Chain A
Amino acid sequence: MRQPRIIIVGGGLAGLMAAIRVAEMGAPVDLFSIVPVKRSHSVCAQGGINAAKNTKGEGDSTAIHLDDTVYGGDFLANQPPVKAMCDYAPHLIDLLDRMGVMFNRTGEGLLDYRRFGGTLYNRTAFAGATTGQQILYALDEQVRRFEAEGKVKKYEGWTFLSAVLDDAGNCCGICAMDLKSMEVRTFPADAAIFCTGGIGAIFGRSTNSVVCTGMAQSALFQQGVDYANGEFIQVHPTAIPGEDKLRLMSESARGEGGRMWVPKRAGDTREPRSIPASERFYFLEEWYPKYGNLVPRDVATRAIHKTVFELKLGIGGEPAVYLDLTHIPRETLDRKLEGILEIYEKFLGVDPREEPMKVFPGVHYTMGGIWIDNNNQATNVPGIYAAGECEYQYHGANRLGANSLLSCIWGGRVAGPAAVKYARGLDKGAEAVDPSVFERERKRQEGINERLVSQQGAENPITIWKEMGAWMTEHVTVMRYNKNIEQTDSKLQELQERFKRINLSDRTKWSNQTLAFARELENMLVLARVITLGALARNESRGAHYKPDFPERDDKNWLKTTRAHWDNGRIQLNYEPVDISLIPPRARKY
């Protein structure tokens, strides 16, 4: 049998899991990543991974995991794929355990589980507070083993530019650029799986890593791959603001008993520990007695906004609230949360075991992403698959904490075999495609580089990026008003015009990060518009998408998936029904 060639773009959890599965099926894999895969953004995931193992006699089940996820996502997720993921989650934990992930253990030597947001059960397996790093390493090691056996070939330090589509519109490979030599080259493949992660850079500062620009998703979108529910952006309630990045303080801090509060008196500048309990406002516990500090992220984030901007109770008048761990024994903190405490300590010089942390919400995750079908992680373009944060399935209008690692690994697990099956079913493989098809795409991409390098003007890409980020963060995150969203879209179009006059301060042909960034930025601007237009159109409030002028969920008009389509340079919004065949929608009240 002819072995198909599979390309995987992105080497985080989803990409590595897909690579393992494809290699296991005997098909050769070409794995592309901007950074060495061990440095992928998945390392930033902290708190844990969900699986209803019910190890603590609470009566948890995969059915309850499904319900929590669907309800937490405000009924926007297609339910059968969520069910498949939740049902299989316990097996994935077993697999990771076998791969040697150093999960925390109970006295009996079993995996320990902790609480997370949006559930009442201890369902989250964890490895200290660096669970993403630990799981990524385990998958990286398995892929390295396949690499040593010659089954996986890595292209690290390459950035994806575009898919190569044959005359029938099927994917027959990719076009990528070597970030050292800046060489643009095409690579044939019978199918390509995209696992290109988040889009935080569109908001300027976020909890995401530098490579999370959404460039690949945007490039694919402009080649006809639909993009769904782009307007659903998760803003995590607890991050440490920084000029370069918003550093996440995991939800597990609250899962382990952390409490959020502000001084009851506005502008109170006393040392936090000197403020007596009676003069503290534990706003989440007061407003949400059942879930307390563990309400879902969208709810917690809006509560912080209300506390800071409406009630004017931010610490010392600043946009910040306390995340307090000081009542938890030091030994417990070190055993279960050390990774994040270390981050706070290193970047702010304050020991969070001794002093409450000052935090504020930050852009964290995109629920929306590349449109895929309900069974195979297949996009609407034959031969293109997607898995992980870059696709839209599983989280609806708001993602529950510790479901992201799960959906990445699950998505990769499904996408790998699905791509192989598709490729094996082809009459003719990519080798039969006329070389001119590849040449055409390579020339198109080289042309873009030429244009950017030779163009003269007064605009700086970093300045345009900062402006985009500031507008998107202010108007298209927690509180969305149509007037502001409209202005943001005009601004984005203005930035697109200005982009035509950017002047690259580096025109060399070796390891030119300025050129690579300009290409990312051009794509970010398109995806920013997809997000913005999706938000503008959706006149309701659902999950992370909140419009004060339309404060209620409107199932009659808006229980539907936004599906953006690139129509000859125009962003067209179409809508399709959500599969709610398993759990009828009900009001979401925590």
Chain B
Amino acid sequence: MANQKTFLVRVKRQASPKEAPRWEEFELPWRPHMNIIIVLRDIAERPVTRDGQTTTPITYDSNCLEEVCGSCAMVINGRARMACSSLVDKLEKPIRIEPMTKFPVVRDLAVDRSSMFENLKRMKAWIPIDGTYDLGEGPRMAPAAQEKAYPLSRCITCGNCLEVCPQVNENNAFVGAAIISQVRLFNMHPTGAMHAHERLDAIMGPNGVADCANAQNCVKTCPKGIPLTESIAEVNRQAIRQAVFGWLIG
């Protein structure tokens, strides 16, 4: 790499959940428009550290590479981000890449975020339809209502909002902003609203909306710009109303 511009990348590695983490440093040739996915692919094609040690390619999750599947969340230069939309030219060097800390590490940068999907199940995050038979059109909805709901339905379950939330820690399994925002989304839908009380019961339970301490880190980190704090406030209001008045008159 004598004449070529290069840059340094440090990656926190962990061979398995049982093993201790370690850092490795790589020197990579710079090219225009690189993102962290290209960095990890370069390493996979030539897995040699900066000091010449042969190592293994780095395990990480990725799929769509355009920030719509939610797979490639990791901590880059200390911030929770999506690897695909993290551009090398915009990152301070050496670049530090670590796995998310609020989820169990599987290997290297891959973590197990299945708890988020389990929580969606717990919150009954769906529209309970009667079946896939021909039952005609869905309920009408004002364009303004759709425009309010649509941004919420763009949540990619990446988990970045949990990563930055101080309430998610070893002692607390707070469900986090993404899940609460989904409760709001389904409670907004005309059919979903018919069963809002079930979701509110679940979100009022342990690790639910009451655990939010209003740090507001979630809304700042969300890659999709979802108004998460607004969602939390709204679900909180709904929950309090239901707690005080019960769901039929709430």
Chain A residues with a Cβ under 8 A of chain B: 20-21, 24, 35-36, 38-41, 43-44, 91, 94-95, 97-100, 102-110, 127-128, 130, 133-134, 137-138, 141-142, 144-145, 147-148, 156, 180, 209-211, 242-245, 247-248, 335, 339, 343, 346-349, 413, 460, 462-463, 505-506, 508, 510-514
Residues of the A chain whose Cβ atoms lie less than 8 Å from the Cβ of B34: 243
Contacts A145-B128, A505-B57 known; A98 to B138 CB distance under 8 Å? Answer: yes
Residues of the A chain whose Cβ atoms lie less than 8 Å from the Cβ of B56: 505-506, 508, 514
Query: Which of B20-28, B41-49, B228-236 participates in binding chain A?
Result: B41-49
Q: How many whole Å from B199's CB to the nearest CB in chain A?
A: 12
Residues of the A chain whose Cβ atoms lie less than 8 Å from the Cβ of B142: 105, 109
Q: How many whole Å from B75's CB to the nearest CB in chain A?
A: 19
Residues of the B chain whose Cβ atoms lie less than 8 Å from the Cβ of A36: 113-114, 117, 157
Residues of the B chain whose Cβ atoms lie less than 8 Å from the Cβ of A99: 127, 129, 138
Q: Using CB atoms, name the residue of chain B closest to A35.
A: B63
Number of B residues near A (Cβ < 8 Å) is 70
The answer to whether B31 has its CB under 8 Å from any CB of chain A is yes
Residues of the B chain whose Cβ atoms lie less than 8 Å from the Cβ of A339: 68, 154
Q: How many whole Å from B144's CB to the nearest CB in chain A?
A: 9
Q: Using CB atoms, name the residue of chain B closest to A506.
A: B56
Q: In the bound complex, do residue B59 and residue A513 qualify as a contact, i.e. CB atoms below 8 Å apart?
A: yes
Contacts A43-B68, A44-B64 known; A144 to B125 CB distance under 8 Å? Answer: yes
Q: Using CB atoms, name the residue of chain A closest to B31.
A: A243
Residues of the B chain whose Cβ atoms lie less than 8 Å from the Cβ of A510: 15-16, 107
Q: In the bound complex, do residue B147 and residue A335 qualify as a contact, i.e. CB atoms below 8 Å apart?
A: yes
Q: In the bound complex, do residue A97 and residue B150 qualify as a contact, i.e. CB atoms below 8 Å apart?
A: no
Interface centre among B64, B70, B85, B127 (most CB of A within 10 A): B64
Q: Which of B116-143 contact A (CB under 8 A)?
A: 117, 120-121, 124-129, 131-132, 134-138, 140-143
Taken residue by residue from 149 to 178, chain B's Cβ proximity to chain A (1 for < 8 Å, 0 otherwise) reads as 110011011000000000000000000000
Q: In the bound complex, do residue A94 and residue B136 qualify as a contact, i.e. CB atoms below 8 Å apart?
A: yes
Residues of the A chain whose Cβ atoms lie less than 8 Å from the Cβ of B136: 94
Residues of the B chain whose Cβ atoms lie less than 8 Å from the Cβ of A242: 33, 35, 65
A-B contacts, 19 listed (Cβ < 8 Å): A24-B132, A41-B63, A94-B138, A98-B191, A100-B186, A105-B141, A109-B141, A128-B154, A137-B153, A141-B120, A142-B129, A147-B121, A244-B38, A244-B41, A244-B65, A510-B107, A511-B107, A514-B44, A514-B56
The answer to whether B106 has its CB under 8 Å from any CB of chain A is yes
The answer to whether B110 has its CB under 8 Å from any CB of chain A is yes
Q: In the bound complex, do residue A104 and residue B143 qualify as a contact, i.e. CB atoms below 8 Å apart?
A: yes
CA distance A413 to B54 in the complex (A): 49
Q: Using CB atoms, name the residue of chain B closest to A335.
A: B147
Chain B residues with a Cβ under 8 A of chain A: 15-16, 31, 33-35, 37-38, 41, 44-47, 54, 56-57, 59-71, 84-85, 87, 106-108, 110, 113-114, 117, 120-121, 124-129, 131-132, 134-138, 140-143, 146-147, 149-150, 153-154, 156-157, 186, 189, 191-192
Q: How many whole Å from A358's CB to the nearest CB in chain B?
A: 12
Q: How many whole Å from B187's CB to the nearest CB in chain A?
A: 11
Q: In the bound complex, do residue B41 and residue A148 qualify as a contact, i.e. CB atoms below 8 Å apart?
A: no
Q: Choose among B37, B64, B106 the residue that contacts A180 (Cβ–Cβ < 8 A).
A: B106
Q: In the bound complex, do residue A133 and residue B120 qualify as a contact, i.e. CB atoms below 8 Å apart?
A: no
CA distance A147 to B120 in the complex (A): 11
CA distance A99 to B133 in the complex (A): 12
Contacts A243-B31, A505-B56 known; A43 to B120 CB distance under 8 Å? Answer: no
Contacts A244-B35, A511-B110 known; A347 to B85 CB distance under 8 Å? Answer: yes
Q: In the bound complex, do residue B63 and residue A346 qualify as a contact, i.e. CB atoms below 8 Å apart?
A: no
Q: Choose among B63, B87, B153, B186 the residue that contacts A211 (Cβ–Cβ < 8 A).
A: B63
Q: How many whole Å from A514's CB to the nearest CB in chain B?
A: 5
Q: How many whole Å from A70's CB to the nearest CB in chain B?
A: 25
Residues of the B chain whose Cβ atoms lie less than 8 Å from the Cβ of A137: 153
Q: In the bound complex, do residue A346 and residue B85 qualify as a contact, i.e. CB atoms below 8 Å apart?
A: yes
Q: In the bound complex, do residue B149 and residue A102 qualify as a contact, i.e. CB atoms below 8 Å apart?
A: yes
Q: In the bound complex, do residue B57 and residue A41 qualify as a contact, i.e. CB atoms below 8 Å apart?
A: no
Contacts A128-B150, A209-B63, A243-B38 known; A105 to B117 CB distance under 8 Å? Answer: no
Residues of the A chain whose Cβ atoms lie less than 8 Å from the Cβ of B156: 43, 133
Q: How many whole Å from B158's CB to the nearest CB in chain A?
A: 10
Q: In the bound complex, do residue B126 and residue A145 qualify as a contact, i.e. CB atoms below 8 Å apart?
A: yes
Residues of the A chain whose Cβ atoms lie less than 8 Å from the Cβ of B67: 343, 346
Q: In the bound complex, do residue A210 and residue B63 qualify as a contact, i.e. CB atoms below 8 Å apart?
A: yes
Q: Choose among A43, A105, A106 the residue that contacts B69 (Cβ–Cβ < 8 A).
A: A43
Q: In the bound complex, do residue A97 and residue B137 qualify as a contact, i.e. CB atoms below 8 Å apart?
A: yes
Q: How many whole Å from A157's CB to the nearest CB in chain B?
A: 9
CA distance A518 to B156 in the complex (A): 29
Interface centre among B65, B84, B157 (most CB of A within 10 A): B65
Residues of the B chain whose Cβ atoms lie less than 8 Å from the Cβ of A40: 63, 69
CA distance A95 to B64 in the complex (A): 26
Contacts A142-B129, A460-B45, A505-B57 known; A104 to B146 CB distance under 8 Å? Answer: yes
Residues of the B chain whose Cβ atoms lie less than 8 Å from the Cβ of A108: 140
